Amino acid sequence: MFVAATGIAAVWLRNLLASAMVLGIYSLLMASLWVVLDAVDVAFTEAAVGAGITTVLMLLAIALTGRHEKRRRARPWLPLATSLGTAGLLIYATLGMPAFGDANAPAQLHVAPYYLAHGQAETGVPNVVTAVLAAYRGFDTLGEVTVIFTAGIGVLVLLGGAKRRQRKETEPAAGDSA
Amino acid sequence: MSDFLVLRVIAKLLIPFILLFGFYVQMHGDYGPGGGFQAGVIVAAAFVLYAIVFDVKTARRVAPMAALVSLACLGVLLYAGVGVANLIYGGRFLEYGALAHDPAHGNHIGILIIEIGVGIAVAAVMMIIFFSFARRR
């Protein structure tokens, strides 16, 4: 309930600074929801990345651009219809999912019992989440790290040194407006 | 932001503990919740807090961009390097059993090293992104 309310508020607010704050609260609420669902590792990540670093980065981006959203005249009926339709389809799809905590759900029957039964003996790591992420799904995690690395390099190329120096030489007064 | 005395004192008190907690999460990831991703973000958060409360220039002198870029590369290479080391020791890529005499022990060592790689890479990249944004102001 609170999660939905903060989500709507984040879209509704015209002040982007307030929007970023509300998104931080949204992440924190999601983190507590993960704790309630016993997904402590996910909660940890959500709290650290979603509520912490992402909010700071958004605030920095707002400081660079401007804190008020532009008012648009056009009525966005087509995007509204598309998103409502997609949301309806997704909610309809959740009706086909097994009940929460169902012991016969595919997620409980496929590889999860194997990880739980053999994970500690095979990897020597008591935390099964770490064992799955680092050992059984090692390729995926390597991919994730590479994605993060690529993101950092991308930001560096877009915002990094060469452009800044060029700007300084060509328009020395540009610093005032920024 | 340098005039807020309470903020400065509290931040100064907090930063060592944030760093310590980051390392705890890093090394304790195989026993409790946590791991490289979370630890990297927490360590980066300590630097970000310092840069926001005190000033960006000093933080950048502690963590210069060139060092951050090489650390990010080092983290990814450490991860991939463990995989290649397995190949050399006669195992399969990223199957850590070959790292020690006992497969379970080898797995544990492998997981520990790749988590350290993940932590280094994530912390460095988060700081790269933060500093490249902060530098534009």
Residue-wise pLDDT for B10-28, tens only, equals 888 999 999 998 888 888 8
Question: Is A27 in contact with A6 (CB distance < 8 Å)?
Answer: no
Inter-chain CB proximity A125 and B107 less than 8 Å:
yes
Cross-chain residue pair B125–A41, CB shorter than 8 Å: no
Q: Name the residue among B32, B75, B122 with its Cβ closest to that of A127.
A: B32
Kindly report the pTM of this predicted structure.
0.76
pLDDT in tens, B49-103: 888 888 888 888 888 888 888 888 898 888 888 888 878 877 777 777 666 667 7
- What's the token pair of residue A57? 């980065």
User: pLDDT tens, A89-123?
Assistant: 998 888 877 777 666 776 667 777 777 777 777 76
- The sign of the CA dihedral A164, A168, A171, A175 is positive
Give the residue from chain A lying closest to B106, CA to CA. A123
Return the minimum-mean-pLDDT range out of A143-147, B81-85, B133-137: B133-137
Cβ contact, residue pair B111, A160, below 8 Å: no
Residue A20 confidence (pLDDT) above 90? no
Residue-level pLDDT at A85: 94
Closest CA to B72 of B126, B135, B5, B14: B126
Helical segments of chain A, H only: 2-12, 16-36, 40-45, 54-65, 77-94, 106-109, 112-123, 128-131, 138-159, 161-170, 174-177
Asked if B121 lies within 8 A of A60 by C-beta distance, the reply is no
B21: which 2 tokens? 């907690």
Please list every residue in chain B whose beta carbon sits closer than 8 Å to the beta carbon of residue A56. 45, 48, 52, 130
Q: Is A68 helix (H, G, I), strand (E, B) or coil?
A: strand
C-alpha B51/C-alpha B58 separation (Å) is: 8
Q: What is the mean pLDDT of chain A?
A: 76
Nearest Cα residue in chain A from B45: A53
Q: Do A131 and B111 touch (CB under 8 A)?
A: yes
Contact B133 A159 (CB under 8 A): yes
> Where do we find the tokens 């509204």?
A80
Give the pLDDT of residue A155.
86
CB-CB contact of A98 with A104 (8 Å): yes
Partner-chain contact B111 A134, CB within 8 Å? yes
Mean pLDDT, residues B33-41: 83
pLDDT at A35: 85
| ipTM for the complex shown | 0.79
- A162 contact partners, CB below 8 Å, separation of at least 6: none
Question: In the prediction, which pLDDT does A13 show?
Answer: 73
By C-alpha distance, the chain A residue nearest B96 is: A135
Could you tell me the residue ranges of all domains in chain B? 5-135
Cα distance between residue A63 and residue B81, in whole Å: 39
In whole angstroms, what is the distance from residue B39 CA to residue A56 CA? 17
Report the residue of chain A nearest B49, measured CA to CA: A56
pLDDT value, residue A160: 67
Q: Which domains does chain A have, with CATH numbers?
A: 1-69 (1.20.120.1200)
Give me the pLDDT at residue A72, please.
65
- Cα separation of the two ends of chain B: 14
Among candidates B30, B72, B137 on the partner chain, residue whose Cβ is nearest the Cβ of A178: B137
Give the minimum alpha-carbon distance from A77 to chain B in angstroms, rounded to a whole number: 35
Do residues A27 and A7 make contact, with C-beta atoms less than 8 angstroms apart?
no
The residue ranking higher by pLDDT, A64 or B72, is B72
Predicted pLDDT at A86: 93
Please give the pLDDT value at position A172: 46
- For the record, the structure tokens of A103 come out as 């012991």
The burial class, CB within 10 Å (0-12 / 13-18 / 19+), for A25 is middle
